[in-house]
Amino acid sequence: MHDTTYSRPLTFEPMRFRRRLLHVLQRGMALSGMGAAYVRRRGVDGAVILMYHGITDKEDANWIDPRFAVPVTVFERQMRFLAKNRNVIALQELLSLIKAGNSPPPGSVVITFDDGYRSVFTKAAPILKRYQLPATLYLATGQVSRVEAQWIDRLYSMFNTRSRDFLETTGEKLGSANLDNPLEARSAYYALAEQLLPASREQREKILGGIADALRPLRQPPPLTLTWEEIRQMRRLYPGIEIGVHTRDHIDLTACEPQDAAAEVAMSAADVQRELDIAPAHFSFPYGRSNPAARHAVIAANLSSAAVTEPAVLVRAGGDPYALPRLSAPSNMALFPFYTSGAYPQASLEVFGRA
């Protein structure tokens, strides 16, 4: 439950009917065996790379945007399912296979985490160890050094613990909003998130500072981001988690100058080398956004792979190691078997015309 001293919690738009119907049909494909039959009939192979962010419990309700979180109870069920029913491999093993011209068998899954949430250490890692599952954690190293929460969660926390309901901002799609109205609150939140996403760190801090002044949040978030010492502990306790990088300040590399993109990538790799005494091999593009300059920056930093988010396709022999597609892990179990079966997304596209 939310603390009674908080303002009305932020709510998100319900899923559209057509999307809900598609999910019902996709689940039916899995339950009926149609998905598995499709994989066998078509000889489908390849791996799905799952993308996680925060792993949450009830205490996180006010602090972490639920669109980027999976409840720890659901995560445990997902990992148990993978251990029993899927072929979970490390990211490096996947890269070795595709480099050699081989595709992993159907039902192969790679587990990844973005950003550096503390919950990867406190909640996810013990579960991964219990089921002996490898994973890769991509760190936004500047945020780790500052122990700074993700900007989206800072924004979410301000909205949820605000002491004032009136917000006036400037910019396209922005203006004044009465946050006591759920529709206005949601609209303002989306508009601010759209403005913050391509911003530099300096611009982002200025915008967030103005929002904090206007909303006067009653509480500050607890530590949501790993410290370097916690990462060192995690590596000792859970060696199955490999460390990758996710830029220094989690900025959109396609929205900045090429030299700034190069610095963000190189400095994040240098941070890991300095703090952990390892040379990171893997990178994920913030927001999944890449362009030729960002790709060149990753290669120049001697990184072996880079992950994006679109399109949601299986990784097979001949796949581009610097454009590895990932699928955002669902926050429930309903579609998890279908998404990790090898039938997604192609079976859904062929049967329903949508993924």
* Domain 17-148+224-352: assigned CATH number: 3.20.20.370
Yes or no: say if 303 and 281 are a contact pair by the CB < 8 Å rule: yes
Which residue's entry shows tokens 């579960």?
127
Domain limits, CATH 3.20.20.370, in the chain = 17-148+224-352
DSSP, collapsed to helix, strand or coil, labels residue 308 as: coil
Give burial (CB, 10 Å; 0-12/13-18/19+) of 193.
middle
Dump pLDDT digits (tens) for 84-139.
999 999 999 999 999 999 999 999 999 999 999 999 999 999 999 999 999 999 99
Yes or no: say if 138 and 226 are a contact pair by the CB < 8 Å rule: no
The rounded distance, in Å, linking the Cα atoms of 277 and 255 is: 31
Phi, psi of 81 (to 5 degrees): -65, -45
Dump pLDDT digits (tens) for 210-231.
999 999 999 988 999 999 999 9
pTM of the model: 0.94
- For residue 323, which of 106, 39, 98 has the smallest C-alpha distance? 98
Residues composing the chain: 355
According to the model, what pLDDT value does residue 311 have? 74
Which residue's entry shows tokens 């699928």?
327
Dump pLDDT digits (tens) for 59-79.
888 899 999 999 999 999 999
